[in-house]
Amino acid sequence: MCGIVGYSGNEDAALLVMQSLKRLEYRGYDSWGIVSLSNNKLSSEKKVGRISEAKLSLPKSKIAIGHTRWATHGQVTKQNAHPHLGCKQKVAIVHNGIVENYLTLREGLLKKGHKFSGETDSEVIAHLIEDEKKKAIPFEKAVANAASKLDGSFAVVALDSETGSMVGIRKNSPLVLGIGKGNSFFLASDVNAFLKHTKKVIFLEDNDLVLLKGHHASFFDFKSMKKLKKKEVEVKWSSEEAEKMGFKHFMLKEIFEQPEKAIATMEGRLVAGKVVLPEFEKILKKANSFNRIIFLGCGTAFYAGLVQKYLFEELCRIPVEAEYASEFRYRNPVVGKKDLVIAISQSGETADTLAAIREAKAKGATLVSIVNVVDSTIARESDSVLYTRAGPEIGVASTKAFTCQLVAIAMLAIAFAVKRKAVSKSKAASLVASLKKLPVLMQETLEEKAVIKAIASKYSKKTNALFLGRGHNYPIALEGALKLKEISYIHAEAMPAAEMKHGPIALIDKEMPVVFIAIRDQTYEKVLSNVEEVKARAGKVIVVTDKGNTVLEEMVDDTIFVPKSEELLQPIINVIPMQLLAYYVADKRGCDVDKPRNLAKSVTVE
Ligand code: AGP
């Protein structure tokens, strides 16, 4: 996610802003920029790549804004880096969020004669403010009017060369004011940007606007422009804690970010009960020309394909396969132009996945990808890309990227099925409605954390574990086993629940914890028999089941209740207890949760 910083005070503003941007580097970025104001003139410096220690070329100034960009719309280029300026170079803005209606706004502004230098959604904000300024209204009112035209999420800091004012405004994206010494002020996406200068902060809330002018801060509701009184608080976090927003590890922060990131991934793509994926128009036009779909990925990304193979097949009624990329690439696969290959990768740089997609393309398949890192190699080599908007995933163990992959693929499957007339418009609308409700159910599941932590503590000394599930919960069992293995180093195995009696049941004894995903769905009765088989051999049974299933709770050792969603989307809920169980076990064992031994975040070797 992007990082925003603004400074107004008595010190070297551009230097302070650059140092503050560096403290937001953990948020991940691919380009950065700073604009400073001196002698009523805005000066800009933007770069692709890391913030270097190199001296800034900006003139000395007392007021400046800056930005680290994590690309969601538009390539990674200097033109697309923020801050963005209006045509007359008198207004500069930095933005964190997504402007859903930017294409319409851009069209309107082009008709009024505005010229754009980049291709981002954010740039429209600078031109909107510039347009409002023509009404000779106060700068803060021009910003408020512009903000009222935006659909989507935004935290914006705007700088005006004519009045020397800086304005911060937010809706569904964080923005915090830091109150420094001598009436100096910081504005930033999170406190970590300026924590070394001050711990006195005011957290802006949705629809808040703050005006910084002449070393004074005043607050308004940007819809009514009614003056507001805001409460100043003292932040207790250390700088390191602030990076993790108060969570003990990045992985835990990222597990708890999942509802927000699912919303971000769906933003602008679910409109009036339909899935709208402009970046897939070309592919969807050919939807009826494919007679097979092949998911390719590694590790957790492969499991995302395995989960959604069930959903895709259920909706589209064509054969769907999920393959380990590392296996696919070496077996001279039978693939051709009637195949749609979907690569899944958080980093977009995994060597085995990259090699596999090159093999598929060479054999004539159409290639699309579900990727988190914009402009990554796999993204660049795909015919179309559906970006997950999980933001940078710092923890080596993939969590929020996985659920965002499942959400993204679900949207693609619905759009595909509608194009192939495989589902009715009402079924599609019902699935879209269920997708929209998903973040609330994910949040509800996260609230089971205390129960899961207690269960984790009970089993943290075990040396083995089994994870069992049926249908689309089998890949969730695989993901649960992988999470436990990779961060707690406990050996864990997953299999289809029915497979246990074909051998692995010999492993069951009182030392073996067995985690079942046992949602009351079409396979529930069969899973119940598997639970009985384990209990009959003194195995310890932990179940993930839907709320209210007290009958099963009576039968087993430990129960984690989850809310019920549309069945096809239920795996996105069911994986959250798997993630938390692994996390709390690993933390209890004192493991290095964010950087597990032997692992790399992106496996760029074969
Ligand atoms: C997931 O927890 C692992 N860190 C690993 O399996 C990962 O999912 C795999 O290496 C694929 O990475 P990618 O999504 O960046 O391609």
Q: What is the pLDDT of residues 301-357, one digit of tens each?
A: 999 999 999 999 999 999 999 999 999 999 999 999 999 999 999 989 898 999 999
Asked if 146 contacts 128 with a C-beta cutoff of 8 angstroms, the reply is: yes
> Is the pLDDT reported for residue 1 higher than 90?
no
Report d(CA 376, CA 371) in Å as an integer: 8
Peptide bond into 278 cis (omega under 30): no
- pLDDT tens digit string along 488-540? 999 999 999 999 999 999 999 999 999 999 999 999 999 999 999 999 999 99
CA 104–ligand 1 middle distance (angstroms): 37
**Which residue among 398, 487, 591 is best mutated to probe the pocket of ligand 1, counting the most ligand atoms within 8 A of its Cβ?**
398
Pairing of the two strands 292-297 and 339-345: parallel
- What is residue 97's predicted lDDT score, i.e. its pLDDT? 87
| Cα–ligand 1 centroid distance for 274 (angstroms) | 31
204 CA to centre of ligand 1 in angstroms: 36
Question: Counting atoms of ligand 1 from 1, which one is nearest the CA of 350?
Answer: 16
pLDDT band with cut points at 50, 70 and 90 for residue 53 = low
Tell me whether residue 2 is one of the annotated catalytic residues.
Answer: yes
CA-353 nearest atom, ligand 1: 16
Please measure the distance between the N-terminal and C-terminal CA atoms of the chain and give it in whole angstroms.
29
Helix (H), strand (E) at residue 166: strand 166-171
Nearest alpha carbon, ligand 1 atom 4: 397
Sheet with 339-345: list strands edge to edge.
Answer: 320-324, 292-297, 339-345, 366-371, 384-387
pLDDT computed for residue 461 by the predictor: 97
**Selected catalytic residue, list 200, 449, 564, 601:** 601
Give 400 or 240, the one with higher predicted confidence.
400
**What's the Cα-to-Cα distance from 436 to each of 262, 265, 433, rounded to whole Å?**
9, 11, 5
Domains along the sequence of the chain with CATH: 3-243 (3.60.20.10), 252-445 (3.40.50.10490), 447-588 (3.40.50.10490)
Residue among 2, 298, 404, 591 flagged as catalytic: 2
Compute CA distances 10 → 168, 181, 408, whole Å: 19, 9, 47
Nearest CA to ligand 1 atom 5: 299
Q: Is 601 in the active site? A: yes
Tens digit of each residue's pLDDT (9 = 90 or more) over 560-589: 999 999 999 999 999 999 999 999 999 999
Give the whole-angstrom CA distance, residue 115 versus residue 92.
15
Please give all residues whose beta carbon lies within 6 A of any atom in ligand 1, as ranges. 298-301, 345-347, 350, 353, 396-398, 486, 602-603
Ligand 1 atom 9: residue of nearest CA: 299
480 close to 544: Cβ distance less than 8 angstroms: no
Residue found under tokens 């080599």: 381
* 363 CB burial (10 A radius; 0-12, 13-18, 19+): middle
Question: Average of pLDDT values for 413-428?
Answer: 96
Q: Are 214 and 185 in contact (CB under 8 A)?
A: no
The tokens describing 291, both together, are: 């007679």
From 300, 396, 483, give the residue whose CB has the most ligand 1 atoms within 8 Å, as the site to mutate: 300
Give the Å distance between the CA of 385 and the centre of ligand 1.
Answer: 18
Separation of CA 214 and ligand 1 centre (Å): 50
Tokens, residue 103: 């294409």
DSSP-based three-state secondary structure for 501: helix
The answer to whether residues 230 and 208 touch, using CB atoms and an 8 Å cutoff, is: yes
pLDDT at 243: 77
Which atom of ligand 1 is nearest the CA belonging to 378?
16
| Whether the predicted pLDDT of 449 surpasses 80 | yes
Task: Find the mean pLDDT for residues 69-94.
Answer: 91
Residue 90 CA: distances (Å) to CA of 7, 141, 158, 492, 571: 18, 16, 10, 60, 50
What's the order of all strands across the beta sheet hosting 185-188? 41-48, 31-38, 63-69, 3-8, 185-188, 176-179, 200-203, 233-234
Where are the extended beta strands (E) located within 222-371? 227-228, 233-234, 270-271, 274-275, 292-297, 320-324, 339-345, 366-371
Using DSSP, state whether 390 is helix, strand or coil.
Answer: coil
Q: What is the pLDDT of residues 352-380, one digit of tens each?
A: 999 999 999 999 999 999 999 877 889 98
**Which residue has better confidence, 278 or 515?**
515
Q: How far apart are CA 113 and CA 406, in angstroms?
A: 42
- Give tens-digit pLDDT for 92-110: 999 998 898 999 999 999 9
Give the lowest-confidence range in 179-188, 236-245, 307-316, 496-505.
Answer: 236-245
